[in-house]
Amino acid sequence: KTEENKQSNSMDHCEVLSKKVIEFKPPAYEQRFYFVKNLVNQHGHKKIADLGFGDATLVWMLKYHRCVQYLVGVDIAAKSFKWGGGRLSPRVGGYTIPRELDLTITLYCGSAVQKDSRLCGFDLVTCTELIKYLNSENLAKIPEVVFGYFSPGMVVISTPNSEFSPLFPASTFRDPDQRFEWKALDVAKLSHYSVEFSGVEDPPAGAELVGYCTQTRVFKNRAKATELSVSEPEEHVYEVVYTTSYLSLQQSKYFRFTLSTGAVKAIESMKSRFLQGPRRKEGGRVVPLRSCTPFPQHGLTEAQRAKTGPSTKSPSVGEKF
């Protein structure tokens, strides 16, 4: 009865607020992406795959992390003609100021429930915009493919909160989306992963019992390194629709180029300062001192300056200086 009362109270809150327009700031999708970015900042992941990358916004956001060296996106709707370049490609600044570490970005056309060995052993796999679009058959394959076959170090999965649904007018979430949520602990136990429950997009005032709009699950692989190194047979079922690489200081020719460019800039800066010479104020204007004018001897008395001034006596032959 306690659980029933809790659900009843939750629905009462929803009914009261259902007519109000709910706006998330930042937008809901950005909050999900920033949740992933914070994880990358915290753990320093190098190899990351985003399943269901959509317009590749998350991939684009993650490319700016210095620790990231390999970014992969997989989407069944990806088309090669859409990815001829754009914001994932290196900018001009990437050629003049290379990254410290290599970075390769690859986008694949394929299903997240297909096994492709190129995604095995990643540090992080994200499914922030995927689960809600899968049918029951494909949803049931996620644990086997993602947790079993890919076996990444960490998995982030986000799904809609069904109890939040009534807060949006004429909006409902499908039951299959939620079945994975209730099986999160079972998935963790069967696939040597621990799981942490969290969420993003806070509910409006008065509907706190509903919880987050989006529920997130962070799965961490508890297997030892030796267990993760078991090789899988090569299976390449995804189609490459886009790939690019960034210059880095790990590549010797670009390291030498950056080093020589920095040296030239430093020399030019010193040369410029030397040619400008010392300055003094004269009649409210700053003018250069003449080359024959001695440098000011600060902190000396007139008598001391006289002693240290140039001598009018001609040096004798053999005199040591």
Q: CB 14: neighbour CB atoms within 10 A?
A: 20
Question: Is the pLDDT at 295 greater than 50, yes or no?
Answer: no
Question: Is the pLDDT at 142 greater than 50, yes or no?
Answer: yes
Q: CB 254: neighbour CB atoms within 10 A?
A: 15
Q: CB 168: neighbour CB atoms within 10 A?
A: 15
Give strand ranges (E) for 4-163: 47-51, 70-75, 103-109, 124-127, 154-160
Pairing assessment for the beta strands 124-127 and 47-51 based on DSSP bridges: parallel
Q: Which residue has the higher pLDDT, 286 or 102?
A: 102
Tokens of 152: 């990444």
Q: What is the pTM for the complete model shown?
A: 0.65
pLDDT by residue (tens digit) across 64-95?
998 999 999 999 988 866 765 678 988 765 55
Residues whose CB is less than 8 angstroms from the CB of residue 61 and which lie 6 or more positions away in sequence, other chains included: 33, 37
Question: Is the pLDDT at 247 greater than 80, yes or no?
Answer: yes
Contact 321, 313 (CB under 8 A): no
Tokens of 50: 């985003």
Domains and CATH numbers, the chain: 2-251 (3.40.50.150)
Q: What is the pLDDT of residue 259?
A: 57
Q: Which residue has the higher pLDDT, 17 or 289?
A: 289
Question: Is the pLDDT at 145 greater than 80, yes or no?
Answer: yes
Contact 197, 184 (CB under 8 A): yes
Q: What is the pLDDT of residue 100?
A: 78
Residues whose CB is less than 8 angstroms from the CB of residue 36 and which lie 6 or more positions away in sequence, other chains included: 58, 62, 124, 126, 128, 156
Gap between the Cα atoms of 37 and 58, Å rounded: 9
